[in-house]
Chains A and B, each alone.
Chain A
Amino acid sequence: MVPKIMKQGRLAPWLYLLPAFIMMSVFIIYPTFGTLRLSFMDNTGTNSAAATCLTEQPCWGVFENYRYALTNTDMLHALRNNALWLLLMVPGTIAGGLFFAVLADQVPYEKLAKSIIFMPVAISFIGAGIIWRFVYDFQSGGGAQIGILNGILVALGGKPVTWLSDPAISNFSLMLVGVWLWVGFCMTMLSAAIKGVSTEILEAARVDGANEWNVFWKIMFPTILPSIVVVTTTLSIIILKVFDVVYVMTGGNYGTEVIANRMFNLIVTNSGRSTALAVILILLTIPIMVFNIKRFKSEEAAR
């Protein structure tokens, strides 16, 4: 609590708060309402979305843009892909980060190893997209393969693969880039938690004859579970909005479309549909938002 001795004028707090509040009102609150309003309008934002309904076609009236968002074939792909990212890439990245944090904890060159894994976090998603487009490069015709993955395949006697334009694998190729980018983040967060686990308890368990597997699952894992939850929510937010990597690597083609890329592509041509997708994005983040606020409240209460 604020000490009583520090008297203040009635206006003083607002002088400190006002600039930030104005900025957040203009850039977060105002556009949120604007987006909501536009999502019920047609492609130029002048008439109600209901006006875009065609006769003899299914119509959701003023929710017409949401009909597009939830039933259009491209959008169904996008929704499915976002779900795939959340269900495969997020757990995979956290498992990778945890795995590396536990292992790196046991080697003398821990700092160097962690810097290497963490480095991709500092570069842009666009740059990472270029790096990986080159890894996945496919040369048609008989020439040499210059992407390392296909180079290895050919050296082993296999056939080169179109990693980014084969709908059966392109999604997984993109998710691998996400893993490469974010494992360092998960590792750093979880590594701090692992260092907080009491070494005495770990040693005691080892002396009692527990093997490393049991030490990890029975002692370490329950202790760091809260950190894993935080990393999961943070990464989920990032992945819901995944855009740059998809944009630069496939442009959303070959079955890799995601919500944010579709939203970007519609900004100029159809503000109604574009904003409806933005609303869907924020609806998907609301559970995490509520969860974060609850966590903050309970942390405050525990203080």
Chain B
Amino acid sequence: MRPLSSLNRFLKKVPVNFAVILMCILWIVPTLGLFVTSFRTREAVRTTGWWTVLAGKPKVLGEPEYQTYCASCHGADGKAITAADLSNAGVVNQYPSASSLLVMLRQPVNGNEVHLKDKALPTNTKDAISTLSNVTTYIKNLSGQTKSTSQFTLTNYIDAIVGYKGTQDYLTDCKEKVSSTLAVYKCNASDILNSAGIGAATLNTLLVAIPSTLLVIFLGALAAYAFAWLDFKGRQWIFALLIGFQVVPLQMALVPMAQLYSQLGMQSSFLGIWLFHTGFGLPYAIYLIHNFISTIPRDLFESIYLDGANHWTAFRKLALPLAMPAIASLGIFQFIWVWNDFLVAKIFLTTHPVLTVQITNLIDPRGQNWHILTGAAFLSFLIPMIVFFAFQRYFVRGLTAGSVKG
């Protein structure tokens, strides 16, 4: 009887487990696709779905193109034509890049024969280079110079950090001195902070988020203390007003503040965006910290006051330390909020793009640079993810403590 009933209980749980696990998978797959893609080569991203890497042995990079265009004459091992032996490093090294290879391929061979007589390359130069870029890798491998046949790479992250949108990756182009697309690059460490890249955007985002968070905490805690432990006229009423302020859409402030900032010469200044985020963060900050410090036992305040402390001391020595959990919740919530903000930064900080703005700059409407975009998006998740997993409890509390701010 007993084993049967526990089996029965187990069977009853199967649909529940199934539903929970299925929903978790559905929630992870979109992000997983982004993550996997960020490590794949441009060519692999363009030609096959990211999920194919989960199934079976990946194809050797450049092999399909080699098979299509070259193998019929040069043979699978590249040795079929002795005058142009592709397993000979000396021959292959004459064409280090896809563009030099293309120039050669467009010239006739054996007098007046078209070089690629079985199948022609795309006529568009850009398309032809992107097709050939993997062939150069493949014939380098054939001639025994490199051993890299992986379709996984870290170059997407490098391209994303420097914000490079060339036809090949940044490191290769730097090595080959492709000047046409390298105009704003120096090919040294200073490119990490190139203004078009994710590196500079990360720095800008930190410069926006940290002061905005600290200011909101400090001003919010001061006001929250007054609402909780000081007596003044209209206290209830102003506090009710704060509840209303929390849901004021920030769209309400955009046009007048943009005009005011330009009159004050503050357009696109860090100070302007710090103050904007602080102003809109305060109603929620005061509400959240107040809810916490108003629950500190009154005896504690009475005894510190009897000991001769004034309100400033009570605030610093008693209220602030005891309110740390609430301050942590608020700080983490505000930090992630500002980190993820797009609208305010897009309008008030045009010359120093933050991460969200920079990512939209990297979007290619034709969908040709997923390899960079996925790397960039993933880099922008790093810090929120670390904060989220390290302080999940505080973040959840900060998010759910009341209604949400505008």
Contacts and interface: CB of A to CB of B under 8 A. Distances in A.
Interface string A238-268: 1011011001100000000000100110010
Given A13-B226, A151-B51, A297-B240, A35 B356 contact: no
B222 A19 contact: yes
B392 interface: yes
A230 B256 contact: no
Given A146-B49, A230-B403, A282-B248, A6 B23 contact: no
Contacts of B403: 230, 233-234, 237, 292
A100 B377 CA distance: 27
A126 interface: yes
A278 B249 contact: yes
Nearest to B13: A106
B374 interface: yes
B247 A237 contact: yes
Interface in A128-149: 130-135, 137, 139, 143-148
A92 interface: no
Contacts of B252: 28, 31-32, 35, 278-279, 281-282
Interface string B318-335: 000000000000000000
B363 interface: yes
Contact of B247 (A26, A100, A288): A288
Interface stretch (A116-124, A167-175, A197-205, A214-222): A116-124
Contacts of A277: 251
B31 A100 contact: no
Contacts of B69: none
A263 B31 CA distance: 30
Nearest to B220: A20
Contacts of B20: 100, 103-104, 107, 113
Interface in A145-160: 145-148, 151
B1 to A, nearest CB: 19
Interface in B213-239: 219-220, 222-223, 225-227, 229-232, 236
A148 B223 contact: no
Nearest to B240: A293
Contacts of B17: 107
B359 A126 contact: yes
A241 B343 CA distance: 11
B296 to A, nearest CB: 12
A20 B290 CA distance: 13
B314 to A, nearest CB: 8
Interface centre among A3, A19, A126, A297 (most CB of B within 10 A): A126
Contacts of A32: 248, 252-253
Interface in A256-303: 260, 263-264, 267, 271, 274-275, 277-279, 281-282, 285, 288-290, 292-293, 296-297, 300
Contacts, number: 292
B16 A103 contact: yes
A13 B45 CA distance: 61
Nearest to A100: B23
A188 B399 contact: yes
Nearest to B381: A123
Nearest to B347: A267
A185 interface: yes
A116 B34 contact: no
B168 to A, nearest CB: 20
A293 B236 CA distance: 11
Most buried by B among A17, A113, A139: A17
A226 interface: no
Nearest to B384: A122
Interface in B39-82: 45-51
Contacts of A213: none
Contacts of A116: 24, 27-28
B279 A24 contact: yes
Per CB-CB distance, the 10 closest pairs between chain A and chain B, nearest first, are A27-B279, A34-B256, A124-B340, A16-B226, A31-B253, A20-B223, A13-B232, A122-B388, A31-B256, A126-B356
23 contacts: A5-B305, A6-B311, A13-B230, A24-B279, A27-B275, A34-B260, A100-B20, A106-B16, A113-B21, A113-B24, A116-B28, A122-B336, A124-B356, A126-B380, A127-B377, A134-B370, A135-B30, A146-B45, A146-B49, A148-B29, A151-B49, A260-B249, A289-B243
Interface of A: 2-3, 5-6, 8, 12-14, 16-17, 19-21, 23-24, 26-28, 30-32, 34-35, 38, 45, 100, 103-104, 106-107, 113, 115-127, 130-135, 137, 139, 143-148, 151, 180, 183, 185, 188-189, 192, 230, 233-234, 237-238, 240-241, 243-244, 247-248, 260, 263-264, 267, 271, 274-275, 277-279, 281-282, 285, 288-290, 292-293, 296-297, 300
Given A8-B230, A126-B340, 4 more contacts: A3-B298, A106-B16, A120-B27, A137-B367
